[in-house]
Structure 1
Amino acid sequence: MHVDNPGAVVVTGATDGVGRGLAMRLAADGTDLIVHGRSAEKGRELVAELRAAGAGRVAYELADFASLTEISALADRLLGYERISVLVNNAGIGVELERQESRDGHELTFQVDYLAAYLLSCRLAPLLAASAPARIVNVTSAGQAPIDFDDVMLRRGWDGVQAYCQAKLAQIMLTIDLAEALRPAGVSVNSLHPASYMPTKIVTHLYTPRSPLAEGVENVRRLVQDPLPPGETGLYLNRDAVAEPLAQALDPAARARLRELSERLTGVALEGEDERAGQGA
């Protein structure tokens, strides 16, 4: 489905959990929405519900984040929209019980939870800059673990918690680098842990829920819609308060290693506004 959607909010992983709750909340405000998922049937149901809830224009984009080809194709389609004011990188998987690989041969959690956000954000950066003031919101976690750059894909000793937590830390590292690159273009980039152990499908198979879904939805919505103080970019928030991420996220050398790895795996570079202008992008 394709419509020119001025100032649209893109929500990945919108057919379940926080993504669905956020889309429904934004629909109630008449927001123009582009929602993503990997089920055509769930997408049709979601679009009907969003329209009934009062959303402006609504489009559904289908893509499986286990495939870099499908993520790239999604980016191509999104670049065909007139304006996108917010990209919410929400799609992800939780703590898996066994090691799985994406269609590209990468550890699945790292690809779905991190590489997809990297690829989409880098590809959509020019459109977001052209739509400025614009925002990127990365839905991450307080569960964070350092990345072992000698075994990022965890082939030597896979652990589901490590896989999840290192991917979430990578999202925060991406947030810091994107914020620096896109600040001159008027695009703010922030990340947050929305709430702990909400009753979503990535939680309930292993853990007992503690926080209501509405808490997490409201914390994400705040970053999507509320006015941001000048310079509020590159931040990590725990719920609604600015917090300090794990130390590796603040290490420029570690972030440089992650950028190099991400570019090598996806074929797409994270470039600043000045670099893109110099290339005629």
Structure 2
Amino acid sequence: MHGKTVLVTGSTAGIGRETARALALRGAHVTLVGRDPDRAGTAAGELSREAAGEVTALTADLSDMTGLRRLAEQVAERYDRLDVLINNAGGMNAERRLTRDGVEATFAVNVLAAYALTCLLLPMLRAADAARVINVTGGMPDGTIDPANLQGEKRFVGWTFAQYNHAKTALMAMSHRFASQLEGVAVNVAYPGHAYTPGNQATPMRAFPYLYRPVAPLIRLLGPLLLADMAKASRSSIYLASSPQVEGVTGAYFDAKVRRVAWPSGVLDARGQEAVWSLCERLSGLSPV
């Protein structure tokens, strides 16, 4: 990874920070992206003191197109190419709310941000030799995609349904379609498994599906003991970003044990995949082709 340029969103804490740390230790020039300037600057400073590669920070609101476009401009001002883009940022909301662009916030952060930022940075990715894009999923992204409910229009949380899981399934569908659209840039998905991240700790109980709420307190009680290993949760992201064994591999899904596994059937459903792709194109005004 020496001399490689890497951008990791949602990387001031948790899985994103550990991913950035591991790649910087391998000699990459890593740019962290966070929402808070102080936290981003502190994280970059701490990682710089232990890493072999350069670590810097940028701040951006990934929930709206203005923030995404400004971030892409700043990256272009800093580097002439981008070898690795890791769309790690995500968010789980308890109720439906809209961003400044009028987009449902969970869909905006988990799906649209990854789509739009990849489109905006494509010239820099294409300038690199065998660039890689890694989209990090999460939750339980194994259901079907409802084209009429992509932005939580019909339901947001139910007995087994959560908009967060729905959005992560949509992210995977978008990623699969993106990989089929591109040549020369690999697009893959990493699943980190369940981890006791700061984001998970801050998630209110009402964001969980009704059926799972009784066990949520137990998870929070045991989380610091069983799910606090961020190095373990970031393994697939690090592998997809750095391993020579996956050079040229695209359109693949890797699980928490760094194994290439089959895509969930809901991700491959043509109707759902087309609905996600069309919505991303319309909301962002961008296309990779």
Q: How much does 1:33 deviate?
A: 0.7
Q: Which residue of 2 aligns with 1:276?
A: none
AA of the residue aligned to 1:252: A
Q: Which residue of 1 aligns with 2:288?
A: 270
User: 2:251 aligned with 1:234, yes or no?
Assistant: yes
Q: Which 5+ residue runs of structure 1 have no aligned equivalent?
A: 272-281
Measured in 2, the distance between the counterparts of 1:151 and 1:257 equals: 10
Equivalent residue for 2:84, pick from 83, 86, 97:
86
Equivalent residue for 2:4, pick from 4, 7, 11:
7
Pair 189,132 (structure 1): closer, same or farther in 2 beyond 3 Å: same
Contact conserved, 1:142 with 1:238, CA < 8 A, in 2? no
Q: Give the TM-score taking structure 2 as reference length.
A: 0.84
User: 2:172 aligned with 1:172, yes or no?
Assistant: yes
Measured in 2, the distance between the counterparts of 1:195 and 1:247 equals: 19
Measured in 1, the distance between the counterparts of 2:255 and 2:245 equals: 16
Contact conserved, 2:3 with 2:27, CA < 8 A, in 1? no
Higher mean displacement: 20-29 or 85-94: 20-29
Measured in 2, the distance between the counterparts of 1:25 and 1:39 equals: 22
Q: How does 1:1-281 map to 2 (within 5 A)?
A: 7-80=4-77, 81-94=79-92, 96-141=93-138, 143-144=140-141, 145-159=143-157, 161-182=161-182, 184-185=183-184, 187-196=185-194, 198-204=195-201, 205=203, 207=216, 208=219, 209=223, 210-211=226-227, 212-229=229-246, 232-239=249-256, 240-271=258-289
Q: Secondary structure at the match of 1:79?
A: helix
Q: Secondary structure at the match of 2:186?
A: strand
Pair 50,229 (structure 1): closer, same or farther in 2 beyond 3 Å: closer
Measured in 2, the distance between the counterparts of 1:228 and 1:252 equals: 30
Pair 52,229 (structure 1): closer, same or farther in 2 beyond 3 Å: closer
Q: How much does 1:229 deviate?
A: 4.2
Higher mean displacement: 225-234 or 11-20: 225-234
Q: How much does 1:119 deviate?
A: 0.2
AA of the residue aligned to 2:110: D
Contact conserved, 2:44 with 2:55, CA < 8 A, in 1? yes
Q: How much does 1:38 deviate?
A: 0.4
Measured in 2, the distance between the counterparts of 1:56 and 1:167 equals: 34
AA of the residue aligned to 1:47: A
Q: Which 5+ residue runs of structure 2 have no aligned equivalent?
A: 206-215
Q: How much does 1:29 deviate?
A: 2.2
Q: How much does 1:106 deviate?
A: 1.4
How big is the alpha-carbon RMSD for the aligned residues of Structure 1 and Structure 2?
2.0
Count of residue correspondences: 263
Higher mean displacement: 70-79 or 250-259: 250-259
Measured in 1, the distance between the counterparts of 2:139 and 2:198 equals: 18
Contact conserved, 1:189 with 1:235, CA < 8 A, in 2? yes
